Amino acid sequence: MLKYDTHHYDDFLKLKISASLWFFLLYGVRHFFFVAAIKLMPNDVGSIDWMNTQANSLFMLTDIPAAIALLATGHRVPDAFAIMRWVWAHGKSILISSYILGIALYVHLNGALIQSGDIDKLLLAASVIIPDVLIIGSIFKSELIKDIFSEFPESEKKD
């Protein structure tokens, strides 16, 4: 008997990466896109406060752990390098650390915005921080995501 519904498994009964995990991985590297959008379209995208407060290039450093976990997703094959196996085995904590670093940096860079007392600025900060906190909670509590990160296809080679 399978632990999850059949749509969570591939042909070889290995757990597929769930849609929610794909979302968490891709949302974890959003600052790369925000910085690029602000540089390419400063008059259009730069006027969006929600994006503008996250378009500092320092945020790209907090996206690196999520980008590494995303890279390991593409290398989740039987003959992957040992480093990719290690990254995948620790992927859940790597992804959570990426979000925690993002929240910490956001609070550090936008502390005046949060402490201003202006409700609009406080709601702006909350609209950035709350989704990250919810994602951290989802990653932390999800048994499926835990099982996906703990599973890695075995190598066909015999040593």
Q: pLDDT, tens digit, for every residue of 59-110?
A: 999 999 999 999 998 888 878 888 998 999 999 999 999 999 999 999 999 8
Question: What's the pTM value of the predicted model, to 2 decimals?
Answer: 0.88
What token pair was written down for 64? 């690196």
In this structure, which amino acid lies at residue 137? G
pLDDT tens digits, one per residue of 11-42: 878 889 999 999 999 999 999 999 998 888 88
Where b means 16+ CB within 10 Å and e means fewer, 36-72 reads ebbeeeeeebeeeeebebbbbeebbebbebbebbbeb
| pLDDT of the residue at 107 | 94
CA distance 66 to 71: 9
